[in-house]
Structure 1
Amino acid sequence: MTVISLKTPLPPGKQAVLTVMDRVARRTNLQYFVVGATARDILMYHLHGFPLNRASPDIDFAMAIESWPAFEALRTGLLGEPGFRLDGKIVHRLHYSPAAGDGFPVDLVPFGGVEVSPSQVAWPPDMAIVMNVAGYAEALDSAVTVRIADRCEIRVASIPGLVMTKLIAWLDRGQSNPKDAVDFRYLLENYATAGNADRLYGEELPLLAACDYAFERAGPRLLGMDIASIASARSRQQLAHILADPELHDRLVMHMLRGGVHSGEPVAAIESRLVEFRIGLLDWPGP
């Protein structure tokens, strides 16, 4: 197993939460990994040195849970640690308050045995809140191992796993919140140089050549191909739906344009990257 070491240390508060989560998850024998904005920051800023794209203090954990009692055991274990408390309104959210400095939310996303139907989790007791968890099982399988402190190694969603879960999350909540689309754009633009340059000049040279040796085309196509290599048929279908449905596609582009360092970039540049991403995702030959 390859273990990745970070170039830039994590903030003390987040390192503390990640360390506690790892200890409690091991004690309750649960598989978990980091997703969301914290995974983005770990991979892009703390590992590869890219500028932070969007401030987000929360930490999102996804975990393979066989039953709701197992989820409650995990939550109870975390609440037994200093600084953790329940959220008064959101059932899957805790809050962490360090001894010094600002606190932040900690979201717990279960999947696996608690799904009421494939890729759907309904929260007890009334099952009124339903969450789409497509892609999480594949993201767990493809997660990378990161050393965040001495004797503490955690699992973090890979960039392909992170993009897959973010696009599916956007499909659930994209009408009102563009943050996942903004992150998708950031990862799409930077994937070629986020540890993939050697691949493009090596085993993926035919892909780079097909893109006229332009990294701005090759990166999105490579990202689509890498997602296709880990995604289930159900997850790929949901991603394909976003790209094929005219209304969803246009809304995604609009939301992608709300963020990023290239303010004022023409829509054509976003559309071009999406074309390459779609080629990699849907034209990948598969196993």
Structure 2
Amino acid sequence: MSTSNQTYKELAIPYFKEVFDIIDKVMLKLNVPYYLIGASAIALELLKDGIKPSRGTKDIDFAIMISSIREFETIVKELSNYGFNKVEAPWTLYNEKFNVVIDLLPFGEIEEKFTLNFNKRNADLHFLGFSEVLKEPETVQIEEKIVQIPSLPGMVVLKLIAWSDRPEERNSDLGDVLKIIEHYFSLNLDEIVEFHNDIFPEEGELDQLKIAARVLGRKARAFLDVSPAINERILKTINDNVIKVENSEIAKQWIRNKDWNLEYAVEILDELRIGLIEE
């Protein structure tokens, strides 16, 4: 799936064009496959439906496919020529001129060498899900550039994994998951009507959020099927948040700024769970 109508102005992320041009130039020079992930990638997908970004960010996240920590250090050195400097966080660089933070999250062959080549300072790298989700990325054209990003079901998987790693500091990930659910029905209406109409109720009102969550679960199932680790992490995370409504941290985050009760938020989450496990 691709689109050719996005512009940097529509994306409304300060200095995104300047940063992306540098990243693109450096990664092409070093022959490193890279992918835009996180809130910026979600914003690009939602722009297809004319949905403007709701929250600005000075952080731009990329996943980079590399084989060693030495390759990562080469990338950092090259980016330093453009004003990007390492900070204390192991995979983060800061550009003072643009006042922009970028995260370069390694995955690929480096995962196999992780325990041998990484020191304790690097030990908080979270690989889970990247290789599987980015194996078949979406492509989006933004002006003259082609950007590779995760699919929306893939983003849901990555966001839930990231939140489960650090729930005390990753609440924005849950907001991103909900944002995807809120817009997925309209973004994929034709596909849902043609291939997922079995979810539609025979009587009563059609709940687009619940249908979207179920379809996202069905699509995300592909990532769980190829990785027992992803399967275990995602299902445990969701199950822990649907068993007891009053204890659902995901639902509590989702109802903020909504006129929903906890029960309804858990029902949406449970539809995602059903989509993930149904045959």
Equivalent residues in 2 for 1:39-188 (5 A)?
39-44=41-46, 46-81=47-82, 83-87=83-87, 89-98=88-97, 102-115=98-111, 124-127=118-121, 129-150=123-144, 152-188=145-181
Report Cα offsets for 1:239-273 as digits up to 9, x if no partner.
00101225897122222233xxx523211221111
Ranges in structure 1 where 5+ consecutive residues have no aligned partner: none
What amino acid sits opposite 2:237 in the alignment? I
Asked if 2 retains the 8 angstrom alpha-carbon contact of 1:32 and 1:63, the reply is yes
Q: Answer yes or no: is 1:205 the counterpart of 2:158.
A: no
Return the offset for 1:140. 1.1
TM-score by structure 1 length?
Answer: 0.84
- Structure 1 distance, partners of 2:33, 2:244, is 37
1:11-50 per-position Cα deviation (integer Å, ceiling 9, x unaligned): 4610221122122112111111111111121112x33222
Offset from partner CA, 1:51-84 (integer Å, 9 cap, x none) = 4333322100011211111111222222222x32
Q: Is the 1:122–1:130 Cα contact (8 Å) retained in structure 2? A: no
Secondary structure of residue in 2 paired with 1:274: helix
More helix by share: 2
1:201: Cα distance to partner? 1.6
1:275 counterpart residue number: 270
For the pair 1:32 / 2:25, whether they are aligned, the reply is no
Aligned partners of 1:184 and 1:34: how far apart in 2? 17
Distance 1:123 1:189, change over 3 A: farther
**Counterparts of 1:105 and 1:80, CA distance in 2:** 16
The percent of aligned pairs where both chains have the same amino acid is 25
Alignment partner of 1:66: what SS? coil
CA distance 1:53–1:247, change in 2 (3 Å):
farther
In 1: Cα distance, 2:271 partner to 2:203 partner: 9
* Other structure's SS at 1:153 match: strand
Residue 108 of structure 1 aligns to a residue whose secondary structure is: strand
- What letter is aligned with 1:93? T
CA contact (8 A) 1:224 1:281 kept: yes
Match of 1:215 in 2: 208
Aligned AA (2:136): S
> What's the RMSD between the two structures over aligned residues?
2.6
* 1:204 CA drift (Å): 2.5
Gaps of 5+ in 2: none
Aligned length: 270
* Letter in structure 2 aligned against 1:164: V
Measure the CA separation in 2 of the matches of 1:32 and 1:141. Answer: 12
Q: Separation in 1 of the partners of 2:133 and 2:200?
A: 25
* Conserved 8 A contact 1:35-1:61: yes
Q: Deviations over 1:137-156 (max 9, x none)?
A: 12211321111232x21211
Kept after mapping to 2: 8 A contact 1:123/1:130: no
Structure 1 residue 264 and structure 2 residue 277: aligned? no
1:184 and 1:14 map into 2 onto residues whose CA distance is 22
Q: Which of the numbers 227, 234, 241 marks the counterpart of 2:236? A: 241
Q: CA separation in 1, counterparts of 2:55 and 2:125?
A: 24
Q: Counterparts of 1:35 and 1:197 in 2: how far apart (Å)? A: 24
